[in-house]
Chain A
Amino acid sequence: MIEGAAAFVAWLGASLVVLSDGRRGLSAGVAVAAVGLAGVAFEVSGPIAAASLLAGGLCAAALRWRSGPPGWKVMPPGSTGWLILCIASAIFGLWIAAAVMTGQGGGLRFAALVTVVMMGARILSARGGAAGLSAAATVALAIALAGALSPQAPGFEIYLAGAAVAVLITFVASEKTDAA
Chain B
Amino acid sequence: MQPEAAVLLVGAAGSLVFAVVFGPARQPGILLLRGGVGLVAMALIAVAPDLDTALLVVLALAVLQGAIELNRGLAVRLRAPVFAISLVALALVLDRASGPAVLHRFAAVGIAAGLAAIVGLLPFMHEFDPAEAVSASPIGWMAFAGPIVAAVLVLDSRRLFTPDTDAVFAAILIGLGLLNALWGSVSAWVTEDGTAAWRYAFMSDWGLVLCGFGLTVADGQSAALLMLLSIVVCRLPLYLMSRPALREKTTTDRPVNLVVAAVLSGSAPFVGFAARVLLFRGATELFWPLGLVLAVSMLLWLPGSLRLGRTLGQPRGRQLVGIAIVLAVNTALGLYPLPVLSLAGT
Contact = CB atoms under 8 A, between A and B. Distances in A.
A and B associate in one complex: yes
Interface residues on B, range: 35 or more
Contact of A133 (B74, B86, B87, B90): B74
A157 B47 CA distance: 14
B75 interface: yes
Interface stretch (B57-65, B127-135, B147-155, B258-266): B57-65
Given A102-B99, A151-B96, A140 B74 contact: no
B96 A150 contact: yes
A165 B49 CA distance: 16
A120 B60 contact: no
Interface string B88-124: 0110110011111001000000000000000000000
Contacts, number: 137
A132 B87 CA distance: 16
A146 B83 CA distance: 16
B40 interface: no
Contacts of B64: 172
Interface in B34-81: 49-50, 52-53, 55-57, 59-60, 62-64, 66-67, 70, 73-75, 78-79
A165 B60 contact: yes
Given A129-B74, A140-B59, A180-B74, A117 B86 contact: yes
A1 interface: no
B89 A143 contact: yes
B67 A172 contact: yes
B226 interface: no
Contacts of A135: 82
A75 interface: no
Interface string A120-152: 100110111101110110011011101101111
A168 interface: yes
12 contacts: A109-B93, A120-B82, A129-B73, A132-B74, A132-B79, A136-B62, A150-B96, A158-B50, A161-B56, A162-B56, A169-B59, A180-B75
For the complex of A and B, the 8 pairs showing the least CB-CB separation, nearest first, are A129-B74, A120-B86, A149-B96, A147-B52, A132-B75, A101-B97, A101-B99, A126-B75
